[in-house]
Structure 1
C-alpha cells in the first residue's frame, strides 16, 4: 500500500512510498507510473542526509 506524509495536503501532489519485495519504492503521486526503487539501507541513508541538511543547497533559489 502506498503511503504519503501526514504533512501532505489533501490533494495528490506528494511523494508516496511503500515497501515491496524487499525494496523501497517511491513515486510522485501525480505521475504514478514512474517508480524509483532502492534498498532499505540506501533509503535510510538518504533520509539521514535529508535530515542533516545535505541537500538543502538544491532548494536554494537565490543561486
Structure 2
C-alpha cells in the first residue's frame, strides 16, 4: 500500500515538474505584479458555457 502511495506521489511530481517550478516561483522569486478585472461579460460567458461563477479574474503582468 505504501508503495502505491509513493509511486503516485513520484509520478505526479515528475509529470507536473514544470508546473511545480512555475508555481513555486510565485512564492520564492521576485514578486509579480497582479491586478484583478471585474468584467460582467467574462462572467456571463463563463457562466453560460461552464456553469461556473467567477468572483474576479486575476492578471499576471509580465516584463
Report if TM-score (shorter chain) is over 0.5.
no
In the superposition, the TM-score normalised over structure 2's length comes to 0.26
Higher helix share: 2
Higher strand share: 1
Which structure has the higher relative contact order (CA within 8 Å, separation 6+)?
2
In the superposition, the TM-score normalised over structure 1's length comes to 0.26
Structure with max Cα Rg: 2
